[in-house]
């Protein structure tokens, strides 16, 4: 039996930063995904972050030897995983739900990320049950593994804004 599902064109699988900002609530300096290169709903996503010397964290980490903090590499991996959730229509895209970082296991760092690097971010959906997703995520530079981890995300409704005091 042949697959009658139409093939998604490559240009339909790429997202620029404007499209990413329509799916994620993050903004500079906390938006850590510049482009989505490829994705398949419910399966995988690949994206990238161009790491420039102008990143605000390099001012203090470390001025004489700038290194991207490992927690921000993990955050970039979490953001690419969150994009997979949104693109898979697991969470509502209208801004009424957030994909929140819920856990991390087996994180390992193998290489430092420095200005001029292009960080390739990859995530595979390992499991999704109710409003919890588990991902296998990786970051690499020039084919060298930077970090790998198992991440968890939870989908939560955005609470209504609190009323201002009178």
Mind listing the pLDDT tens digit for each residue in 23-69?
Answer: 999 999 999 999 999 999 999 999 999 999 999 999 999 999 999 99
Q: Give the residue-averaged pLDDT of 111-128.
A: 97
Does the residue 2 lie in any domain?
no
pLDDT of 9 above 90? no
- Contacting residues for 111 by C-beta, under 8 A, at least 6 apart: 141, 144, 145, 146
Confirm whether 26 is a catalytic residue.
Answer: no
User: Is 9 domain-assigned?
Assistant: no
C-beta of residue 34 within 8 angstroms of C-beta of residue 17 = yes
User: Helix, strand, or coil here: 8?
Assistant: coil
CA dihedral 52, 58, 62, 68 (to 10 degrees): -60
Residue 88: which domain range? 24-156
Residue 11 lies in a domain: no
pLDDT given for residue 166 in this prediction: 87
In the set 26, 61, 111, 138, the catalytic residue is: 61
| Contact yes or no for 79/24 (Cβ under 8 A) | yes
Can you give the pLDDT at residue 12?
78
Q: Is there a domain that residue 7 lies in?
A: no
Flag whether 118 is in a domain.
yes
Predicted TM-score (pTM) of this structure: 0.91
Residue 5 maps to a domain: no
> Could you tell me if residue 6 is inside a domain?
no
Instruction: Measure the CA–CA gap between 148 and 160, rounded to whole angstroms.
Output: 35
Residue 66 lies in a domain: yes
pLDDT tens per residue, range 92-115 = 999 899 999 999 999 999 999 999
Tally of structural domains, the chain: 1
CATH code, domain carrying 58: 3.10.129.10
């Amino acid at each position: 039996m042949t697959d009658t599902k139409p093939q998604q064109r490559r240009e339909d699988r790429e997202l620029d930063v404007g499209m990413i900002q329509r799916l994620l609530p993050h903004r500079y300096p906390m938006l850590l995904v510049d482009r989505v290169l490829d994705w398949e709903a419910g399966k995988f996503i690949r994206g990238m972050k161009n790491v420039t010397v102008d990143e605000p964290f390099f001012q203090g980490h470390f001025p004489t030897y700038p290194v991207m903090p490992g927690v921000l590499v993990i955050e970039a991996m979490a953001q690419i995983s969150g994009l997979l959730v949104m693109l898979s229509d697991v969470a509502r895209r209208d801004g009424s739900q957030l994909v929140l970082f819920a856990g991390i296991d087996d994180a390992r760092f193998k290489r430092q990320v420095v200005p001029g690097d292009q960080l390739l971010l990859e995530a595979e959906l390992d499991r999704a049950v109710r409003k919890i997703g588990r991902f296998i995520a990786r970051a690499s530079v020039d084919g060298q593994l930077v970090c790998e981890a198992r991440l968890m995300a939870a989908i939560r409704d955005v609470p209504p804004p609190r009323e201002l005091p009178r």
